[in-house]
Amino acid sequence: MSISSWAQVRPVILVLGDSLSAEYGLPRGTGWVSLLEEQLSVEKSPWTVFNASISGETSSGGLSRLPTLLNQKKPGIVLIELGANDALRGLPVNQTEANLRKMIQMSKKSGTKVLLCGIQIPSNYGQAYTTQFKKLYPQIANQEHVELLPFFLEGVATRPELFQADRLHPNVAAQSIIFKNVWGSMAPYSNLLKKIP
């Protein structure tokens, strides 16, 4: 098999996220997505990763870009890490929910498996909004029957030393923890990742 035809059959993991996945403020190649690529390489997995994350991305932005990405990349797995910027802008939770749900349904319709990465926001956004937001991800994952990482920043969020100076974006030291969170939640796909589907 030639290199070019091998490249065409290599299955793709599409990461659709915001600055938390786009290496914002980090040296290139040090983010959790790069660590995921390294892990797949170590395990001699045929899968490759395409990082379509953009700093500042909202769930509506992700939804608008997804059809083209599904069509061009034909991923076998989509990791959705969106919603934090919706919260920063104070967008209605039901709007975020509708966008995430549409992305999941669109992905599933194309034959793609989904991992939804849960985001939680600080309580200074108001108790009601914070609680609604926290419940949002498990609810969608349960109703849409997709895999869930309950809290993307588990083990990071409560540790100030793992954040950059803006106190919003995790630093290099945090990336291995985030990677472990994601990798652990991908366990149901471990057999799939060993072969070309």
- Kindly give the pairing relationship between strand 12-17 and strand 147-149: unpaired
In the block, which residue shows the tokens 């993307």? Answer: 152
Catalytic residue among 21, 34, 107, 169: 169
Local structure of 169: helix, strand or coil = coil
Q: Which 3 state secondary structure label does DSSP give 49?
A: strand
Annotated active-site residue 169? The verdict is yes
Cβ-based neighbour number of residue 78 at 10 Å: 27
**Residue 19 designated active-site:** yes
Tell me which residue has tokens 């797995």. Answer: 77
The active-site residue, picked from 18, 19, 21, 45, is: 19
Known catalytic residue: 145?
A: no
Of 6, 77, 4, residue with least CA distance to 46 = 6
Catalytic residue (one of 4, 5, 145, 166): 166
The residues annotated as belonging to the active site are 19, 166, 169
